[in-house]
A and B are shown apart, each in its own frame.
Chain A
């Protein structure tokens, strides 16, 4: 890419990214930025936190994914739900959110809740009790049992934001979605680096999958095409910080 193009792309970058001041919040690594005049923090472990609203967003937990495969004879390690929920509890202890939205595919399948181990069940029950929990339905878990507690919705509007599982082509409000499990790769000096990422554009934020055994889908996949604009950024999850890279660079390398 020519420097000129890079400059131009830089000029098109989101104002939000320009204004970022900090890459820490309450000791957590990530990026703090402004989305439609709301202060949010994108955490390195793949969550979004609305600071004023004390609202935590996670997506694609895929709880009980391992046991789903175990049913068909592929015995993936049965620790995924626990790992995912412990990670969530750690974040919630630090941020102390009042509300949480799980953006769909919270369970890998609708029978998932029945297969939870006692320990995972207790963990989830505690978490649901601590916060106002909203389950957005996903393609894997459209009908979760109400016994889980919390509210069940197809999508949730909190103007100027809309929260839903699958991103849509031209949303009316700023859209926050999951579903695609974005990950991006870069080829730098002959070496390939591949990481899960957020995708941020002027009208939309797509979250990476939060679940412990959830793989990523490369942003160059056709599924992403409707959501990619020249000014899109991929925020790659490194070891200690999020790296912001123009998304088109992750597709052309």
Chain B
């Protein structure tokens, strides 16, 4: 008899009975994980959505706890997920089998919402399984009770690990996982992940690395058994050449919703979600239960929608990425994505939402909203079938996160710098950290780490005679608790539906959600906009709250607010270029799109995969330069910034530019047809020009602000919190300027530059592109606009225009008035 058989017979008996009762059976990978658990091996489980991944992760803990002796015991299993809502969902899903099998297992969640009385109780009497987030784990480890709390810990399950590791949250988690490994050397790790391009990397991430040879968790990969049915929704209406909203497809979307049980409609931005929701309700003749879900809405409202979904009360939900991650909604039988998914992995993830049953194929419609997106959707579709993946690579651990972790370590208790250094270097992300950099981080935490040693008398952590560092005052631990984490939100304003009385300032009212303040600041009182599915009128902004009332009109004045735009992934961009150059593939495209491409070929040119097409043409007294790199909006904005600078140096007076995911258009008063384009697009564009532009760019200042907040240089939440986000922005810019001038080698500037180099993939993408197209630039001097250029020309006027310097804008504002006033 094999071990598996014994398991099946004995220990697993109640579980098998429970499974059978549900009409299910244990899957192979679930059994594999049970065996791995018996051998105390760490595992990375890669499985498509719906394969029972989460249960596979928990099953060994449930089995082991079910025949555990009763009595006082500590925390057995720690589960970490990127989303608070996911922990709530998992708790619900775990409680079910535990109750039905009457297992003696206590499961609890601990999130930012957990009341403090319950938190205290959890410390004194831990549950068997704790469900939490990376930030809460950091807080737990920074507490004085960490050692006793984790003294019985056996297993750590990290869900959606592929999403977490690529961000600063992942760095924070990595550092804390290293701490857990040190506390419990025999700890078994379980990583749960969707399909990724480089699973070995993730498997290493889970384990403490040692000097000689990489340590790696065992890989368990579950292949997808059923391919999803994905198609591009054929529309009877004309597909627009440009645009983002997909108006042409509303009737088709409504029909699809009507003929399915529960439909998830994914869009890429919150504005799109609001618009689509509004428009669909206009044609909702049958009064179908259609709800809205996005990250700006108030939490309670989102929870209500989620609850209504799982209880089967809804027919459709229009949502953004907030519903992207592995929440098990059960009954979804159709996923529609409006707008291109921007990445093949993202598409796979979303489609996994449909039919959360492993062995039935999921069904999905893609709805491209303009001609370029048809190409992108087609490329994504091919990729999903091919099983190609485009997850971003792991990054070097960020230094600001490390600074936060050093302070957290001191909050827990005195530490030895050398020991901490070894522990940090055991993380895959930090394995190449240099000792001198680590020393600088320690100094930074202790007294700011300035060349001028002005603050040693105020130091936060201090080296004691025994060589260990300790916190100098307990209130620094309180500050740490208030500022833990790596998610720096744009400064957000709460939106309240106010009770408005004539002649009185509005007050009170229901909270509808939160919106970035830069959007609200662009509005004047009286302006109307779409939010939470309603047309709202801005009444007043006061103390970080915006008061609104319901507007009488049904068409908002201000069409949209930004929020959550994804750049096109490199991988898909590549596929789109191939599709574009391969005429034999065009028959698969909708008629209007292939006609558009043939027309382009006739009037201008279609580049091959490695060529870069540039068109110049005059239009309405201006001269345009249109470039087709397909590298994503971010990269194009950077390119536009650099090219206009260069054109300015050449005396060509460019007036501005606009960028989309596919195309960049620059315009000016002079004809640019006779330029030396090989020279203009030379790779040295990314040399001095870039540096000069970057150090003064808002981008780097924003990056610095994030580093300053995460590292604890500036505290977002101070005991007497009266700082608004705007004031922080301003002073962090001043700090950046002073630091660059007087302490150019300061560690926080290093952290900022590293962040920019690592995080702003657009720059790396740009440099790859420039080297790819060297000697392959094709220029067409046209006497009128080309078909391929039409979409971007329609964007002009809709997108903010870049290029003109701040000074020129100020000059314009003061000149314009003078001119108008004096003529």
- Contacts from A to B (Cβ < 8 Å): 3, 6-7, 10, 67, 70-80, 83, 117, 183, 185-195, 212-218, 222, 236, 238-240, 243-246, 249, 252-253
- A212–B811 CA distance with the chains assembled, in angstroms: 25
Known: A6-B820, A191-B809. A78 touches B731 (CB 8 A): no
Known contacts A212-B734, A213-B731, A215-B734, A77 near B742 by CB under 8 Å:
yes
Q: Is the CB of A238 within 8 A of B455?
A: no
| Residue with the greatest number of chain A CB neighbours at <10 A, chosen from B521, B522, B713, B810 | B810
Max chain B C-beta neighbours (<10 A), residue from A190, A214, A249: A190
Does B726 lie at the interface of the complex (its beta carbon under 8 Å from any beta carbon of A)? yes
User: Which residues of chain B (23-61) have a CB below 8 Å from chain A?
Assistant: none
A189-B800 in contact (CB<8A): yes
Number of inter-chain CB pairs below 8 Å: 132
**Contact of A193 with B447 in the complex, beta carbons under 8 Å:** no
What are 23 A-B residue pairs whose CB atoms fall within 8 Å in the complex?
A: A10-B817, A10-B821, A70-B455, A73-B458, A74-B713, A75-B444, A77-B739, A77-B742, A77-B743, A78-B448, A83-B742, A183-B730, A185-B521, A186-B809, A191-B802, A191-B804, A192-B518, A193-B809, A212-B734, A216-B730, A243-B813, A245-B813, A246-B817
Interface string of B474-493 (1 = CB under 8 A from A): 00100100000000000000
Judge whether B422 is part of the interface by a CB distance below 8 angstroms.
no
Q: Tell me if A70 and B458 are in contact (CB < 8 A).
A: yes
Please measure, in the bound complex, the distance between the C-alpha atom of A216 and the C-alpha atom of B726, giving whole angstroms. Answer: 9
User: Could you tell me the distance in whole angstroms from the C-beta of A29 to the nearest C-beta in chain B?
Assistant: 13
Given contacts A75-B447, A213-B731, is CB(A190)–CB(B800) below 8 Å? yes
Within 8 A of A (CB), among B740-770: 741-743, 746
Chain A nearest CB, measured from B543 CB (Å):
10
Chain A residues whose C-beta falls within 8 Å of the C-beta of B715 in the assembled complex: 73-74
Q: How far apart are the CA atoms of A197 and B800 in the complex, in Å?
A: 25
A189-B809, A212-B738 known; A75-B455 Cβ under 8 A: yes
CA of A188 to CA of B805 in the docked complex: distance in angstroms? 11
Whether B730 and A73, one on each chain, are in contact in the complex, defined by CB atoms closer than 8 angstroms, is: no
Whole-angstrom distance between the alpha carbons of A238 and B814 in the complex? 12
Contact in complex: B734, A78 (CB < 8 Å): no
Q: Taking CB as reference atom, which chain B residue is nearest A83?
A: B738
Decide: A243 and B810 in contact? CB cutoff 8 A.
Answer: yes
Q: Interface readout for B790-807 with A: 1 if CB under 8 Å, 0 if not?
A: 000000000111101011
A185 to B517, CA, bound (A): 14
Interchain CB contact under 8 A, A243 and B811: yes
State how many angstroms separate the Cβ of A184 from the closest Cβ of chain B. Answer: 11
Given the known inter-chain contacts A10-B821, A70-B458, A213-B731, please indicate yes or no for A186 contacting B813, CB distance below 8 A. yes
Within 8 A of A (CB), among B663-721: 712-715, 718
B738 touches A191 (CB 8 A): no
A74, B479: Cα distance in complex, Å: 10
User: Which has the most chain B C-beta neighbours within 10 Å: A79, A244, A245, A253?
Assistant: A79
Q: Does B727 contact A (CB under 8 A)?
A: yes
- B726 near A218 with CB under 8 A, answer yes
- Pair B738/A80 contact, Cβ less than 8 Å: yes
B454, B524, B743 interface centre (most CB from chain A within 10 Å) = B454
Question: Please, which residues of chain A bring their CB within 8 A of the CB of B714?
Answer: 74, 76
The docked-state distance in angstroms from the alpha carbon of A67 to that of B799 is 43
Contact of B738 among A73, A188, A213, A222 (CB under 8 A): A213
